[in-house]
Amino acid sequence: KAQVVATSREAAVRYKTALDVALTEKVKELEQDNPLNIDLAGLRKLKTDVVISGSHNDRPHIKEYSDSGRHTRTIKSFKLPFDKEDEGVTGDIGIVVVNNMLLTGFDAPIEQVMYLDKVVVAHNLLQAIARVNRVAGAAKEKGLIVDYVGIGHHLKKAIDNYDEREQKEVIDCLSFPEDELRELQADYKAIMVLLEKHGLTDLNDHDAFF
């Protein structure tokens, strides 16, 4: 599952709106053409929600997401696997959007990806990385943090108090888009060579692959 960390409470609500629209559009698109056999039934059930703090002067579209009862249900659903149910709560919530809440002290090994659109520093940053990187059975060997704001130098400051070996372990966990792209290109070429070796040159001829 995934967590989006937005730069403000307003941004968090807007993210949810955009995600819901994107999910609806993706389902419609896959209903017409689903070459990778993505689980459409599961995608249709996938829900998003927002967990943010509140204040007395909040406008209605913000206030509805600051209710503590709603938070409890949302967090419980998020922590459950998609196919599980507990006391009437299903695990349908797969994406939770936050601003300041759930960044520390939130135990959810099922969370695999954190999208950072907010600068997080010091121990809060290290806790966020550690939490998303917790293993959760065979389905999750590691977590991913997608950095939209450039937290690299903040991470360096956060680990300055650690010894050299521990710093290296953290730095070695980082990956960069250009490196990932080069690796992807190399893998693609290797796959194409393998397919050509077996006479599979038309990628649109799905029957030939079976």
User: pTM for the full model?
Assistant: 0.76
* Average pLDDT score over the chain: 87
Residue 174 pLDDT class (50, 70, 90 cuts): low
Q: Give residue-wise pLDDT tens across range 105-117.
A: 788 889 999 999 9
Instruction: Round to whole Å and give the CA distance between 196 and 191.
Output: 9
pLDDT at 139 over 80: no
pLDDT at 127: 78
Contact 5, 146 (CB under 8 A): no
pLDDT at 176: 67
Residue 20 pLDDT class (50, 70, 90 cuts): very high
pLDDT at 93 over 80: yes
- Report the CATH number of the 2-209 domain: 3.40.50.300
Two structure tokens written together for 141: 């060997």
Handedness of CA 71, 73, 76, 79 (dihedral sign): negative
Instruction: Round to whole Å and give the CA distance between 149 and 101.
Output: 19
Question: What are the two backbone dihedrals, phi and then psi, of residue 168, each rounded to the nearest 5 degrees?
Answer: -65, -40
Instruction: Please report which helix (H) or strand (E) contains residue 10, including its range.
Output: helix 9-32
Q: How much of the chain, in percent, has pLDDT values that exceed 70?
A: 95
Q: What is the mean pLDDT of residues 97-102?
A: 90
Instruction: Round to whole Å and give the CA distance between 12 and 175.
Output: 26
- Listed in sequence order, the residues at least 6 apart from 8 whose beta carbon sits closer than 8 Å to its beta carbon are 99
DSSP labels, 26-80: HHHHHHH--TT---HHHHHH-EEEEE----TT--HHHHTT--HHHHHHHHHHHHS
Instruction: Round to whole Å and give the CA distance between 7 and 12.
Output: 7
Residue 200 pLDDT class (50, 70, 90 cuts): confident
Q: Give residue-wise pLDDT tens across range 47-83.
A: 999 999 998 889 999 999 999 999 999 999 999 999 8
pLDDT at 173: 66
* Domain range list for the chain: 2-209
Instruction: Please report which helix (H) or strand (E) contains residue 129, including its range.
Output: helix 122-132
